[in-house]
Amino acid sequence: MNKSIRPARVLMAVGKMDRGGMETMLMNLYRCIDRDRLQFDFLCTKPGEADFDGEILALGGRIFHTSLPKQAGPKRILEEMRKVMEEEGPFAAVHAHLLFFNGFVLLAAKRAGISIRISHSHASSLLKYHSLKGKGYAAFMRRLLMKNATCLLACSRQAGIYLYGEKAVRCGRVELFANAVDVEAFAFRPQTAAELRAQFGAGEETLVIGQVGRMIPEKNHVFLLELARLLKEKGADCRFLLIGDGPLRASLAQKVALYGLGDRVIFTGLREDVDVLLQALDGFAMPSLMEGLPVALVEAQAAGLPCVVSDGVSKEADLGLSLVQFLPADNLHKKDWLKALSDCKRRPRPSLEQVRAAFARRGFEVKENVVRLYTLYQLSPQNGGGGCDQ
């Protein structure tokens, strides 16, 4: 490392760095940047230690916390954010990942004199903004962020429309920034797959289906449990891996007990080794009510898995490997889901070369997105380079 060169620092505004899709995407980028030239710091609006905090600190990043916005009120939270931006900088840019709350973050950044202010949308809809009060908040914050952002990013076209409005997307103001992953980390490893399947009580003929996601209503885990119950009633030899955690964990466990699925459904909890767990699967399921462009689905395709997903998932998430099947997640289509999941066992995996090519064509290789970051942050050419720390 050249000690005479100080890295440019970018402040990432987040809730907290737990293991969600957006957070995983940020860590994929963070591991791959040249940290002699660019460093990430994190401004968190939620209290407590988060899953990725230890790794962030080990990589040289800093973590700052504000008060909870709902408790602090707008005046105080703006002042707290501005103070961090002024006193802990200089920051080359502020990059906000808080959906509609991006408006407040970028207003604080403008008041702190930061010239590059990026809003990033990672969701195509959230239930809490469907109420009259939620819609009013969203409309106000949208106007605020549109006034204060210098760059608008979205993981998909629908996510762009949701946060910024259709006009902003149609006129080209919104740039798409793919939720890229390191394809090599998900390459299929037969021995690992066999060992994991044995741990989960799955034989060679057992159908193993997985879902990765926070256990919240939008992810619709209940629908998957109903499918597991139907498959058991049909006498199918199957296992369902629910990877993740969240506020609905206890109620989902109760439903597993009610359905008599204790031997079929496995709660793995939060895991650092999702790339490894995917090795055990025959297929991936995502019955979400709504999604932007989910990182978990991108990772499943990187692993070469057949994916059965709801029509609430953005079509842009299909990376052209003939792996993704879209179905409505409702009672009328349960038979279609059962057939699609059962068929996963017979579908061949694409080769690593095919996966690499498909991801590169659609901009989902993480190393390419790292180069884009240098441009977004207006770093000079010598700020490029680096390699992934895996």
Express each pLDDT in 278-288 by its tens digit.
999 999 999 99
Check whether residue 226 and residue 196 sit in a common domain: yes
Q: What is the residue range of 22's domain?
A: 8-180+365-383
Cα 290 → chain centroid: 13
390, part of any domain: no
358, part of any domain: no
Q: Report in angstroms the alpha-carbon separations of 49 from 56, 122, 169, 247.
A: 12, 22, 36, 17
Q: Report in angstroms the alpha-carbon separations of 55 from 18, 51, 79, 130, 189.
A: 12, 9, 28, 35, 26
The region of weakest confidence among 96-110, 128-142, 163-177, 301-315 is 128-142
- Residue 173 confidence class, pLDDT cut points 50, 70, 90: very high
360, part of any domain: no
- Residue 384 confidence class, pLDDT cut points 50, 70, 90: very low
What mean pLDDT, rounded, does the chain reach? Answer: 91
Check whether residue 73 and residue 200 sit in a common domain: no
Average pLDDT of span 243-270:
96
Are 355 and 183 spatial neighbours (Cβ–Cβ below 8 Å)?
yes
Q: At a CB cut-off of 8 Å and minimum separation 6, what does 22 contact?
A: 14, 97, 122, 295
Buried b (16+ CB within 10 A) or exposed e, 96-126: bbbbbbbbbbbbbbbebebebbbbbbbbbeb
Check whether residue 207 and residue 339 sit in a common domain: yes
Check whether residue 138 and residue 237 sit in a common domain: no
Check whether residue 132 and residue 197 sit in a common domain: no
Q: Is the peptide bond between 90 and the residue preceding it cis, with omega within 30 degrees of 0?
A: yes
Are 39 and 93 spatial neighbours (Cβ–Cβ below 8 Å)?
no
The region of weakest confidence among 17-21, 154-158, 291-295, 386-390 is 386-390
359, part of any domain: no
Check whether residue 339 and residue 377 sit in a common domain: no
Cα 14 → chain centroid: 13
Are 373 and 29 spatial neighbours (Cβ–Cβ below 8 Å)?
yes
271, part of any domain: yes
Question: Which of these, 52, 53, 50, 144, lies nearest to 105 by C-alpha position?
Answer: 144
Residue 343 has pLDDT above 80, yes or no: yes
Beta bridge partners of 9: 39
- Residue 1 confidence class, pLDDT cut points 50, 70, 90: very low
Residue 389 has pLDDT above 70, yes or no: no
Rg (CA), the chain: 21
22, part of any domain: yes
Check whether residue 206 and residue 128 sit in a common domain: no
Check whether residue 77 and residue 171 sit in a common domain: yes
Check whether residue 207 and residue 324 sit in a common domain: yes
Counting the structural domains of the chain, the total is 2
248, part of any domain: yes
Are 309 and 290 spatial neighbours (Cβ–Cβ below 8 Å)?
no
3, part of any domain: no
- Residue 290 confidence class, pLDDT cut points 50, 70, 90: confident
Q: At a CB cut-off of 8 Å and minimum separation 6, what does 252 contact?
A: 215, 221, 222, 225, 242, 267
Check whether residue 137 and residue 259 sit in a common domain: no
DSSP state of 90: -
Task: Find tokens 């279609």 and name the residue.
Answer: 336
The pLDDT, as a whole number, for residue 11 is 98
Task: Give the whole-number percent of the chain exceeding pLDDT 90.
Answer: 77
List of long-range contacts for 51-58, beta carbons under 8 Å, 24+ apart: 51/17, 51/18, 51/19, 51/23, 51/270, 52/17, 52/18, 52/19, 52/23, 52/27, 53/17, 55/27, 56/17, 56/30
Q: What is the CATH number of the domain that holds 276?
A: 3.40.50.2000
Task: Find tokens 């230690």 and name the residue.
Answer: 49
Check whether residue 109 and residue 252 sit in a common domain: no
Check whether residue 205 and residue 345 sit in a common domain: yes
